[in-house]
């Protein structure tokens, strides 16, 4: 290649890179997808499958099924409903696993291996070529829970969450009728009494889930319909249902001693 030609190529690449940044298009993992494929073939293929369709050997013993990566749909993103997750969101899932499912924590992978496998996952769906990740949901400063706010949280839970989560155990009327996820499998609302979700640990996590919903499942987003203050009230009420990280005995006693919610009063 002549020097002139090379200069033109470098310039074209620079323009290309600039355009990508300027239009806010895919800000993908800095990892190497070819190396990531090797990580995938070693540690992920038995569940997520050779075709990344979630149909690996272990899939038949897995409920829910391992994720099919071809649609680019991810449940536990910090971004609003319908948006792609950030690289940090994918890192969190790979690092911590999904509690109570077959998805194991891969804390022993090096940072480079995690980045590489994420870059590989991001090559598996067309979505990553045409869309960037969403902007993470803004989380306002967490207020301290009070008797009033938790009482309010309980009312809001009845109005917004109970049709699926019921009394907190996941026995709401919609759950009893039967819910199905986007991949066609039955899915049950989380038992919030367990004090831990697949992904959520803290009030902040509950806040993000309540705001953003869970992609690929019937759990809706609340952005628009609830204020940040109301979402904190719900998050603290949920935290008071079980031994979530940050939940205190006082908080649980407070919630247990509340009068029955007005929604179910005659």
Contact footprint for ligand HEC (CB under 6 A): 43-44, 46-48, 58, 62, 64, 66-67, 74-76, 90, 93-94, 98, 101-104, 106, 117, 160-161, 163-165, 174, 179, 187, 189-190, 192, 197-200, 206, 209-210, 214, 217-220, 222, 234, 238
User: Tokens standing for 139?
Assistant: 């989380």
* C-beta neighbour count of 168 within 10 angstroms: 22
Q: How far is the CB of 245 from ligand HEC (least distance, A)?
A: 12
- Provide the CA 38 distance to its chain's centre, in angstroms: 25
Q: How far is the CB of 13 from ligand HEC (least distance, A)?
A: 30
Evaluate the CA torsion angle 190, 213, 204, 73 in order and state its sign. positive
Residue nearest to ligand HEC (CB): 197
Q: How far is the CB of 240 from ligand HEC (least distance, A)?
A: 12
Q: How far is the CB of 182 from ligand HEC (least distance, A)?
A: 10
Cα angle at 241 between 262 and 265, to 5 degrees? 15
Q: How far is the CB of 130 from ligand HEC (least distance, A)?
A: 19
CB 49 within 8 A of CB 70: no
Q: How far is the CB of 246 from ligand HEC (least distance, A)?
A: 13
Rounded distance, CA 186 to CA 107, Å? 30
Nearer to ligand HEC, 20 or 102 (CB): 102
User: Tokens standing for 80?
Assistant: 């609003």
Nearer to ligand HEC, 7 or 245 (CB): 245
User: Tokens standing for 160?
Assistant: 């917004």
Nearer to ligand HEC, 20 or 202 (CB): 202
Nearer to ligand HEC, 151 or 217 (CB): 217
Nearer to ligand HEC, 164 or 240 (CB): 164
178 burial via Cβ count (<10 Å: 0-12, 13-18, 19+): exposed
Distances 35 to 39, 88, 159 between C-alpha atoms, Å = 7, 19, 48
């Amino acid at each position: 290649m002549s020097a002139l030609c090379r200069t033109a190529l470098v310039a074209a690449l620079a323009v290309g890179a600039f355009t990508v940044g300027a239009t806010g298009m895919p800000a993908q993992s800095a990892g190497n997808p070819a190396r990531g494929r090797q990580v995938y073939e070693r540690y992920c293929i038995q569940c997520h499958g050779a075709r990344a369709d979630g149909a690996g050997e272990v899939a038949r013993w897995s409920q829910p099924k391992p994720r099919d990566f071809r649609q680019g749909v991810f449940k536990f993103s910090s971004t609003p409903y319908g948006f792609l997750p950030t690289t940090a969101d994918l890192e969190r899932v790979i690092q911590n696993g999904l509690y109570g499912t077959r998805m194991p924590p891969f804390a022993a992978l090096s940072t480079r291996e995690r980045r590489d496998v994420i870059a590989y996952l991001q090559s598996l769906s067309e979505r990553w070529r045409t869309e960037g990740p969403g902007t993470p949901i803004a989380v306002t400063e967490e207020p301290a829970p009070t008797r009033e706010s938790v009482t309010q949280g309980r009312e809001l839970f009845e109005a917004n969450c109970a049709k699926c989560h019921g009394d907190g155990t996941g026995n709401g009327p919609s759950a009893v009728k039967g819910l199905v996820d986007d991949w066609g499998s039955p899915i049950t609302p989380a038992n919030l009494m367990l004090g831990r979700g697949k992904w959520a640990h803290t009030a902040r996590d509950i806040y993000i889930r309540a705001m953003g919903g869970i992609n690929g499942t019937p759990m809706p987003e609340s952005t628009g319909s609830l204020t940040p203050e109301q979402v904190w009230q719900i998050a603290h009420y949920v935290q008071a249902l079980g031994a979530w990280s940050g939940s205190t005995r006082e908080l649980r006693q407070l919630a247990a001693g509340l009068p029955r919610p007005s929604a179910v009063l005659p």
